[in-house]
Amino acid sequence: MEVRLREEDKSEILRYLEYHGQQMEDHLSEQIDRCMEMISDAAQPRYVVKEVEFPELGVFPPEYAYLTGEDIHRHLAGCKGAVFMAATLGAEVENTIRRAQIKNVSDAVIMDSCASTLIEILCDNVDAMMREKHKGEYLTTRYSPGYGDLPITVQKQFLTMLNTSRTIGLTVSESGIMIPRKSVSAIIGISDHLPAKGLSGCGHCNMKKACRFLRRGVRCGK
């Protein structure tokens, strides 16, 4: 699945850069354009999905008992199954950012924001593909390890279940950090009925105490 950053994505990149909406000088706009191009060229987007049927509505099969916490079960209440997904931009994006950190730190910062934007675009595309496949059914929003009370430590079992090291070259550190870093894992519930509003927003996020967006009174979600 090919994804590239476009002009309309620049506002999202600026938000990651904590840009306050002041007039942008031409040289900065050109620098962002150049970084967008470099990250798009470096990206090797890959994803894997696995659909799982539940034995009862909202109940994981026994082999998924490691998905603990009340929030994920509340998010999937009434669902007959779920899509487990993982996506990554690949190692070359990380390498491109690292090289920039040596040569031009401001380029590296912008590239990091470009990569954060691009991985979300990739996830949105996978999400849209699954919604097209499940027309006539209802899908929840994405829910990731580390969100709410679903611990980040389940990441290793989650990725092992998807066999991501072999399928898309995605591994995880002992602390639950995905490698390459610009990667996402998530669960999307599938239901025959419009699901109750899922958990979302800053109040349910494990990063709320350290979030750079929240300190400025804005949200990282759309």
How many other CB atoms are there within 10 angstroms of residue 54's CB atom?
17
Residue 71 resides in a domain: yes
The model's pTM: 0.87
**Assigned token pair, 77:** 């209440």
User: Could you tell me the CA-to-CA distances from 165 to 62, 63, 169, 194 in Å, in that order?
Assistant: 23, 20, 4, 34
Answer yes or no: are the C-beta atoms of 44 and 119 closer than 8 Å: no
Query: In angstroms, what CA-CA distances link 151 with 47, 67, 105, 139?
Result: 22, 8, 33, 23
Q: Can you tell me the distance from the alpha carbon of 63 to that of 136, in angstroms, rounded to the nearest whole number?
A: 28
- 164: domain CATH number is 3.40.109.40
User: Quick check: is 79 in a domain?
Assistant: yes
The phi and psi torsions of 204 (rounded to 5 degrees) equal -105, 5
In a domain, 54, yes or no: yes
Domain-located, residue 200: no
pLDDT tens for the chain, residues 1 to 222: 899 999 999 999 999 998 877 777 888 899 999 999 999 999 999 999 999 999 999 999 999 999 999 999 999 999 999 999 999 999 999 999 999 999 999 999 999 999 999 999 999 999 999 999 999 999 999 999 999 999 999 999 999 999 999 999 999 998 889 999 999 999 999 999 886 655 455 555 554 554 544 544 544 444
- The domain of 50 spans 5-195
Cis peptide before 180 (omega within 30 of 0): yes
Helix (H) or strand (E) holding 139: strand 138-139
Residue 151 domain flag: yes
Tell whether 211 is covered by a domain. no
Is-contact 148 199, C-beta < 8 A? yes
SS3 of residue 166 by DSSP: helix
Domain count, the chain: 1
Q: For residue 179, is it within any domain?
A: yes
165 in a structural domain:
yes
